C-alpha cells in the first residue's frame, strides 16, 4: 500500500517530523481508516527513501499518541480515533492556516 506522504530534503524540518506530521494528518482527517494495516517499517522506509530508524521513530511516536497500534507478528494498524480528536485536528489545522495567512499578509 502506498501512503500519500511527500518528504523534501530541502525542508528545514527533519524528515521524521515531515513524515510524522503528514501521517498524523492522514489518520486524524480519516483518510486512513481505523484498522488499516500500514506498511512494515522496512517497506515504508524503502518507499520514502529513508532509514528504518526514522520510520520506527514515527510509528513509536504515533503509537504513544494512541493513533497507531502494533501487534507483534501482525503489523502496525491505524487505531480508533474519537470524534473529539478529529474535531480538534480540524480546528488546529484551520487556526494554523489562518496564522500563516496573517503572517504572510503582514510581511
Rounded-to-integer distance, Cα 44 and Cα 93, Å = 25
* pLDDT tens readout for residues 13-58: 999 999 999 999 999 888 999 999 999 999 999 999 999 999 999 9
* pLDDT tens readout for residues 46-97: 999 999 999 999 999 999 999 999 999 999 999 998 767 767 767 676 777 7
CA-to-CA dists, residue 43 to 32, 51, 56, angstroms: 17, 10, 11
pTM: 0.80
Amino acid at each position: 500500500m502506498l501512503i500519500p506522504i511527500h518528504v523534501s530534503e530541502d525542508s528545514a524540518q527533519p524528515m521524521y517530523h515531515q513524515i510524522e506530521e503528514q501521517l498524523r494528518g492522514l489518520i486524524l482527517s480519516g483518510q486512513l481508516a481505523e484498522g488499516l494495516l500500514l506498511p512494515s517499517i522496512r517497506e515504508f522506509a524503502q518507499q520514502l527513501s529513508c532509514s528504518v530508524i526514522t520510520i520506527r521513530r514515527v510509528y513509536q511516536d504515533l503509537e504513544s499518541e494512541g493513533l497507531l497500534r502494533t501487534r507483534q507478528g501482525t503489523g502496525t494498524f491505524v487505531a480508533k480515533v474519537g470524534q473529539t480528536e478529529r474535531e480538534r485536528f480540524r480546528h488546529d489545522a484551520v487556526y494554523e492556516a489562518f496564522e500563516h495567512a496573517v503572517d504572510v499578509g503582514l510581511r
